[in-house]
Structure 1
Amino acid sequence: MFDIRDFIDDLARSVAFLSRIHMPQRHFVNFDGRLSRAVRAFPLAGLLIVLPAAAIVSVFSALNVSPLFTAFAAVAVHALITGALHEDGLSDTADGLGGGRTREKALVIMKDSRIGSYGAVALILSFGLRVSALSAVLPLVSPTGAGLLVLAAAALSRTAMVWHWSKLPPARHDGVAASAGEPQASAVTFALISGVVSSAILLLLSGASLPATVLAIAAFAVTVPAFSQIVDGKIGGHTGDTIGATQQLTEIAVFAALALAI
């Protein structure tokens, strides 16, 4: 049976896990740190976390601020609120997959806090592709629609994290992802359905065409399995870093799809 109080607790725990936002302590009573059920709230948590960035996009677009500056500001605010958590995951994953010739070496590199050339290039491409794609889309929709597009990408990219997390076993048993537990099957199903449906609704409300909406969701549907297969072949499972990288890659793919289709 669906209990709204349990879901609110899951939402608060998801927001705290995915960002620097402090949530009321009452939501963490008897909480052991495992997110097996809480992952069902990831799509909605993504919406809440990205609300400030979406608001900036809408306000700046209404004021006719440069689309490029608007996109940069939105991505910067998003990174500040999350503490660049997902960017860190992308960087570490790129270094590990790019520089590690063996599974063991890749995992050692990914655990190293220092950034390498693969990680630096990945970050440059991530920021560049997201900003350029978003700035290309902003002039084609209304200010309100622009904010809704950002929210849709946020929901889909957090849904992607749950999907990737559930598709692979932990690559190591002492990492952040392993300590957070394996997602429950019912929670994964809830996240996938709610994330895709809410994103589709937001995209259509934004003024995006039906083909653009379908292409954005297709980009999500292709990116996650493809990346998961690469990760599985290289290190045999997920880590906290690869989960974060999935968010980044999906957001890039969704914004790129919209830039091509709207």
Structure 2
Amino acid sequence: MSNATEFIGDLARSLGFLSRLPVPSRYFEGHDGSVSRAVRAFPLAGLLLAIPSALLLWLLLEWQAEPLLAALIAIAVVTLLSGALHEDGLADAADGFGGGRDRDHILSIMKDSRTGSYGVIALILSFSLRATALASLASDAQALPALALLAAAALSRALMVAHWQTLPSARLGGVASGAGRPEASARSFALISAALVCMLLLLSPAGPVALLVALVLASLAAYGITRLADEKIGGHTGDTIGATQQAGEIVFLVALALAV
């Protein structure tokens, strides 16, 4: 099997893991369910997942739609396509870290399907900050918000791979544990490819300084979630992985909006 064919298979499995998009069953036949190598394609999967929303955002702004409304619609579309996978992780992690007394209590709260006040607040902040940041970018160039949405989708999914690979599983039998810990080479490929995507999309319209600031701050946000998870529960869960994606995307877009 050629490297290109292997990567296409990894990309298909990544899309199946990260979204509600239909993926041909042949990519899963005889597969053990592990995404240890497939995570290298997460940034590209995130990019593809965000293309419909980015295109819609660009069209709405071209049609003189109010920027904040256009941004909210775009975020709603990508959330529906992903099945709110990462938002669910953010809410559960916020409830767990916000209300948990100790490791076992935090993990118990995260496993609870009910959403508490910390989770609700986290979701409100996530949607409002991302939408406001995209709307703010629309004042500089109508194509910039769409490009930023694509770049954030790729980068944030690389950062979640880094979080996933850095820490051991905090809970046996969870979704993240069953999917396997990412290979170090897959993590490096994901991070490098995401950085290249960001440079290709934003280096010219946003400028090198703004892009660098956004990349650094988003990376620090992901590192902060990783340190918190390590200290509080001694590892990662599917919820902390989702929270890392959300934190990276939020901080990247907000930093970009402030720096441009």
Q: Do both share a fold (TM > 0.5)?
A: yes
1:136 equivalent in alignment to 2:136: yes
Deviations 1:199-224 (A, max 9, x none): 1211124x111111111111222111
1:80 equivalent in alignment to 2:67: no
1:175 equivalent in alignment to 2:174: yes
Q: Equivalences for 1:122-133 in 2 at 5 Å?
A: 122-133=122-133
Q: Equivalences for 1:44-55 in 2 at 5 Å?
A: 44-55=44-55
Q: 1:69 matched to which residue of 2?
A: 69
CA distance in 1, matches of 2:146, 2:219: 23
Q: Equivalences for 1:53-202 in 2 at 5 Å?
A: 53-143=53-143, 145-202=144-201
Identity of aligned residues (%): 53
> Contact 2:225–2:243 (CA<8 Å) still a contact in 1?
no
Q: Give the structure-2-normalised TM-score.
A: 0.97
Counterpart residue identity of residue 128, structure 1: S
Q: 2:206 matched to which residue of 1?
A: 208
Q: Equivalences for 1:6-45 in 2 at 5 Å?
A: 6-45=6-45
> Contact 2:222–2:245 (CA<8 Å) still a contact in 1?
no
Deviations 1:202-255 (A, max 9, x none): 1124x1111111111112221111110011111110000110111111111001
How far 1:29 sits from its partner (Å)?
2.0
How far 1:146 sits from its partner (Å)?
2.8
How far 1:42 sits from its partner (Å)?
0.3
1:243 equivalent in alignment to 2:244: no
> Contact 1:220–1:253 (CA<8 Å) still a contact in 2?
yes
CA distance in 1, matches of 2:254, 2:187: 26
Q: Which of 220, 235, 256 is the aligned partner of 1:222? A: 220
Counterpart residue identity of residue 200, structure 1: M
Deviations 1:132-153 (A, max 9, x none): 111111121233x332111001
1:260 equivalent in alignment to 2:253: no
> Contact 1:138–1:146 (CA<8 Å) still a contact in 2?
yes
Aligned length: 260
Q: Give the structure-1-normalised TM-score.
A: 0.97
Unaligned segments of structure 2, at least 5 residues: none
CA distance in 2, matches of 1:65, 1:72: 11
Counterpart residue identity of residue 30, structure 1: G
Counterpart residue identity of residue 191, structure 2: L
CA distance in 1, matches of 2:249, 2:184: 24
The runs of 4+ residues in structure 1 deviating greater than 2 Å are none
> Contact 1:200–1:217 (CA<8 Å) still a contact in 2?
no
Unaligned segments of structure 1, at least 5 residues: none
